[in-house]
Every structure is written in C-alpha cells, then in structure tokens.
C-alpha cells in the first residue's frame, strides 16, 4: 500500500503539476489558517464557513487544513497522492455548495452575483494528474520509499 501511495515517476511533469497546484493554493490556505494575504485567519474563516456557509465545524476545519497543509505538502512532494485526492473532494464540494449556481465562468467583469467554477475544475484536473502521476522529481515521497528499501 505504501508503494502505491508514494511511488512516483521522478519526472518533470509531476514536479511542475504539484508545484503549480501547491503554489497557487498556498496563499488561499494561508489566508484561511494564518490571516496572511488579507485573509480572515483561522477564527474568522471558521466563523464564515460555519455561520455564513452553514458548514458543520468538522467540515470547516477540514477545508482550512486541506488548503493549508495540503498545499505545503504538494510543494514539498510529501504524500502528494493523498493530498491530491483530498483536493479533488474539497473542490468538488466547493463547486456543489458554493459555485454551481453561478455557471462556469469566473466573474471577470462583475456582471454576475457570484463566481463560477472554472478555477475549481482546473484544480481538480491538476489534482487528478498528480493522483495518476505522483509527485515527480525532488519529492519527499521518494525519500520515504528509499528509507523502506533494504540495501
């Protein structure tokens, strides 16, 4: 089981995909967890997710943790397949709960009430690619598997 989760192709594609996903998602996670980049921080985001979005507390905590720790893990290449699966679930839920009513397109020109789900589909697609391919080059996943192999 460990081999299935941590194996990787050691290619540039996996590295590029996971870094793109992790670096794009990190500021969002840091907004929610730490209040960086003008975000509300953990308490403010919990208030928003449980009060405004009406999510259960456990789901709200998972949203924050997945975006913050998942993005850091993708950047380092640690358990990328596990985090990719978490992002697929998270962003599917975000589409269904908050964005499906606004259609496909983001609100580029301010003409609709909310944001569409095109960004979310990109994250899901990149996460599927990571799930299939693995972490790629320079990933901590490789070190985990190397530590398991006897010399």
Q: What confidence tens digit (pLDDT) does each residue in 90-114 have? A: 999 999 998 888 888 888 888 878 8
Q: What confidence tens digit (pLDDT) does each residue in 63-89 have? A: 999 999 999 999 999 999 999 999 999
Structure tokens, 15: 């590295």
Domain residue ranges of the chain, discontinuous segments joined by +: 7-148
Provide the whole-model pTM. 0.90
- List, in order, residues 6 or more apart from 127 with CB less than 8 Å away: 21, 84, 85, 87, 88, 91
If one counts every other C-beta atom within 10 angstroms of the C-beta of residue 19, the result is 17
């Amino acid at each position: 089981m460990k081999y299935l989760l941590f194996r990787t192709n050691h290619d540039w594609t996996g590295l590029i995909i996971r870094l793109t996903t992790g670096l794009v998602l990190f500021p969002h996670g840091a907004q929610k967890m730490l209040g960086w980049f003008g975000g509300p921080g953990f308490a403010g985001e919990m208030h928003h997710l449980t009060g405004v979005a009406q999510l259960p507390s456990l789901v709200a905590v998972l949203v924050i943790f997945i975006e913050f720790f998942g993005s850091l893990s993708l950047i380092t290449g640690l358990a990328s397949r596990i985090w990719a699966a978490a992002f697929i679930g998270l962003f599917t839920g975000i589409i269904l709960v908050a964005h499906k009513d606004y259609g496909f397109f983001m609100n580029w020109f301010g003409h609709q009430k909310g944001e569409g789900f095109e960004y979310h589909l990109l994250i899901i697609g990149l996460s599927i690619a990571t799930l299939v391919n693995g972490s790629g080059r320079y990933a901590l996943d490789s070190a985990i598997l190397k530590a398991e192999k006897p010399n």
